[in-house]
Amino acid sequence: MAGPRGLREPGGPRLGVDAVCSVDLLLVPALAVGHDGTRMGRGGGSYDRVLARLPEPGPLTVALLHDGEDVATVPAEPHDRRVHAVITPTGGFALRPYPSS
């Protein structure tokens, strides 16, 4: 079905913002991810706000990267949330250390 801007959207009821808490796997975009799992986004904080709603340890959270975006370190702010793993075209799936709370 067509959405508000003419984009195709799935039909059915909206699940709401807390539906993400019931998933087993969460794929997120990133501009880069450090070896410690720190994710760099585009600066708006949208994904960090979603990740902050997840229970600990939460679902497996995986950042999808291009080659060259899996880097040693990225700058981090206190609100930044880490990911559990990354996937790159040539490197495949790679786990990251994830702090336990």
Q: What angle do CA 85, 87, 89 make, to 5 degrees?
A: 165
Residue 80 has pLDDT above 90, yes or no: no
Sequence-ordered list of residues with C-beta below 8 angstroms from that of 75, at least 6 positions apart, any chain: 40
For the chain, what is the domain count?
1
Rounded mean pLDDT of 60-84?
Answer: 92
Q: Is 7 among the domain residues? A: no
Q: Is 3 among the domain residues? A: no
Q: Is 14 among the domain residues? A: no
Q: Is 62 among the domain residues? A: yes
Q: Is 41 among the domain residues? A: yes
Q: Is 9 among the domain residues? A: no
Distance separating alpha carbons of residues 48 and 84, to the nearest angstrom: 14
Q: Is 73 among the domain residues? A: yes
CATH number of the domain that residue 91 is part of: 3.40.50.10420
Per residue in 32-52, pLDDT (tens digit) is 999 999 999 887 778 888 888
Domain that holds residue 55: 20-95
Q: For the chain, give the longest Cα–Cα distance.
A: 43
Structure tokens belonging to residue 88 = 């790159």
Number of H helices, E strands in the chain: 1, 7
Contact call for residues 41 and 69 (beta carbons, < 8 A):
no
Amino acid at 44: G
Q: What is the pTM of this model?
A: 0.82
